[in-house]
Amino acid sequence: MTRLTGWAATAFVAALALGGCSAIPVPEVPPTATDSSSDAPADTDAASPPSPPFEDVVAGTGLVWSDEFDSVSDSRWSTWKRMEGARGWGNEELQNYTDAEENSFVADGALHIVAKRESTVDADGLASEYTSARLMTYETFRYGRVEARIKIPVGVGLWSAFWLLGTEHTPTAPWPSRGELDVMEYVNQARELNSGIIGVKTDDSPWSWVNAYPVNADWSTAWHVYAVDWTADSVSYSVDGQELGTFRKEDLEPENLWTFDNPSHIILNVAVGGRWPGNDIDDAALPAEYLVDYVRVYDSEIRQVPESWMPKPPW
């Protein structure tokens, strides 16, 4: 979900517009000035990050993990960690993520993440005029299929996301070296579905591959199933069974590293403001609810990692 100025997606690929729209081409976006493609190619194998110090785990088959959000229980919060704070989360976001029941709770068979206009101060004394929730699994997953059935909110200044981020097994390693899989992101009026990946280059700067698909105006009024199929050699996205795009390891540019072999945490959140949606917030759209019917994981390795390895935002 991290969006940093000074770099952009190295590819935007068009596909059929979803929800009954006609096909709308999206032009390719050239690399930004930070792209080092003009440099001499690096020895990708030699520069690849070392294998993480994880024990071998045999992948399960079929459905190996899920949260159907059918029951209300405090034990759920030993599965999902409510991240907290108002430090901007690497994107100059405006909200304070809280552990308050008003911002994240289960009711009527669904997880509710609620973004609100309210004044709060976080544990570090930072003030915010907005609150929301960001949930991350304590468990990590590697490879397989991860899917969620979600209904998103709309409103100027909102940023909804469903994504995975590699565990922080090496705290001093640059953020993109852990690998980021953005299954679904929407901003503002949710007229474009974004999915992509973020990795690291040989010089420790990030590279990305992003697909952006136009959707119709009533897209957010319905539930949709967002999924990633992830292997050691490829990452593929889909919505409601329709393929959105696939990136393969063999497609890497010489200076880009494959950083998608780390066990990763699942993250669900709604941000308010930030570099991407902007800080012109439509307060009339608040409170805004992001609803999750279920999250399911298939054919994946599952690991328990120390809480100290849970990813932290790049302040």
Q: Which of the residues 180, 192, 250, 289 is marked catalytic?
A: 180
Separation of alpha carbons 141 and 182, rounded Å? 15
The one catalytic residue among 93, 185, 255, 301 = 185
**Taking the chain, what is the end-to-end CA distance rounded to the nearest angstrom?**
14
Q: Is 185 a catalytic residue?
A: yes
| Cα diameter, the chain | 57
Burial class of residue 228, CB neighbours in 10 A (0-12, 13-18, 19+): buried
Structure tokens at 224: 């949709």
| Six token digits for residue 13 | 């690929």
Distance separating alpha carbons of residues 232 and 301, to the nearest angstrom: 12
CB contact set of 127 (below 8 Å; sequence gap of 6+): 86, 119, 120, 121
* Residue 255 appears among annotated catalytic residues: no
In Å, how far are 48, 95, 125, 182 from 87, measured between CA atoms? 31, 9, 10, 21
Active site positions, annotated: 180, 185
